[in-house]
């Protein structure tokens, strides 16, 4: 039986190519995709932990009509190096900065999901001159009590984790449960966590964000609920919040048409 995770990986990356994006490999071993009109404003799409560039496959095509897209596999994810060892957030940020500065001479808009939103905020704090706008989709980065099991130890916990990410009524196929309980190798999330993330929480730095910021959130997010989104919005001056019904932690995949409509309301 084909590996469902590998099948998804291959299919979504094929969809990026079908949308007109080009796969690029940097000397450092980073892999990213780019496409769209060269004269259009640049939008960088940052996936979450344990994810990869192909997660954006459903919305990449429509976005290339308006934006020049840069879609990286963040360091240690997808096809990007390093394949083993710790993944400190500063390494992810350094690799992202190298990509952005090599591909564009002007500021870019950053759209980040989950950990990608956390990375986007940290990047905007470190390099405000490089960022024109932030779009935070179910973004992590603040201290928050997460009740969903991030590292499930049994079937019940795995089902709870899947419902937190995909919604309370989402299917929980056996293969998805097996992936959580018996991962192949060390997952990127474990590699990030082992380096110590608490020094990079953004709670006390959100007042420093000076770029226009918009939040897009799934109404059924079981990892970072709407209450978290509202707390994040209150701490970022001038930010806006849009809620997508029928979506959980990955609105761009769970409700792609609604997600595109939210982006159209921002830009």
List the structure tokens of 168.
Answer: 């309370």
pLDDT at 1: 61
Residue of 145, 174, 140, 138 lying closest to 159 (CA atoms): 174
Rounded distance, CA 52 to CA 34, Å?
14
The partner residues of 105 in beta bridges, in order of sequence, read none
Q: Give the pTM.
A: 0.97
> How do beta strands 22-25 and 31-35 pair?
antiparallel
> What confidence score (pLDDT) does residue 184 get?
83
pLDDT, tens digit (0-9, with 9 covering 90-100), for 56-107: 999 999 999 999 999 999 999 999 999 999 999 999 999 999 999 999 988 9
Sequential pLDDT tens for the chain (267 residues): 678 899 999 999 999 999 999 999 998 899 999 999 999 999 999 999 999 999 999 999 999 999 999 999 999 999 999 999 999 999 999 999 999 999 998 899 999 999 999 999 999 999 999 999 999 999 999 999 999 999 999 999 999 999 999 999 999 999 999 999 988 888 999 999 999 999 999 999 999 999 999 999 999 999 999 999 999 999 999 999 999 999 999 999 999 999 999 999 999
Those residues with Cβ within 8 angstroms of residue 56's Cβ, 6 or more apart along the chain or in another chain: 16, 45, 47, 71, 252
pLDDT of residue 106: 86
Cα–Cα dist 104/95, whole Å: 15
Predicted confidence at residue 186, as pLDDT, reads: 86
Q: Which parts of the chain fold into alpha helices (H)?
A: 4-18, 57-63, 89-103, 115-126, 155-166, 174-181, 188-193, 226-235, 251-254, 256-266
Domains located in the chain, CATH noted: 4-266 (3.40.50.1820)
């Amino acid at each position: 039986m084909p590996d469902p995770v590998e099948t998804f990986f291959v299919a979504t990356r094929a969809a990026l190519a079908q949308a007109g994006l080009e796969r690029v490999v940097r000397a450092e071993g980073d892999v990213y995709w780019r496409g769209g009109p060269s004269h259009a404003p640049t939008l960088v799409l940052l996936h979450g932990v344990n994810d990869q560039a192909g997660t954006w496959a459903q919305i990449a095509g429509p976005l290339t009509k308006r934006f020049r897209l840069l879609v990286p596999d963040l360091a240690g994810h997808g096809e990007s190096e390093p394949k083993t060892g710790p993944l400190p957030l500063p390494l992810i940020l350094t690799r992202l900065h190298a990509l952005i500065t090599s591909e564009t001479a002007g500021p870019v808009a950053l759209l980040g999901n989950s950990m990608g939103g956390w990375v986007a905020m940290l990047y905007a704090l470190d390099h405000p001159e490089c960022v024109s706008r932030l779009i935070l989709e179910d973004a992590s980065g603040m201290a928050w009590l997460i009740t969903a099991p991030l590292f499930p130890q049994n079937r019940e916990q795995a089902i709870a984790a899947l419902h937190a990410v995909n919604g309370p009524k989402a299917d929980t196929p056996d293969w998805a449960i097996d992936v959580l309980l018996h991962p192949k190798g060390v997952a990127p999330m474990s590699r990030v966590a082992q380096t110590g993330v608490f020094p990079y929480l953004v709670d006390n730095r959100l007042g420093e964000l000076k770029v226009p910021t918009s939040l897009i959130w799934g109404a059924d997010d079981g990892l970072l609920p709407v209450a978290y989104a509202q707390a994040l919005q209150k701490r970022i001056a001038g930010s806006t919040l849009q809620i997508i019904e029928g979506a959980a932690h990955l609105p761009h995949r769970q409700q792609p048409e609604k997600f595109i409509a939210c982006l159209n309301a921002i830009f």
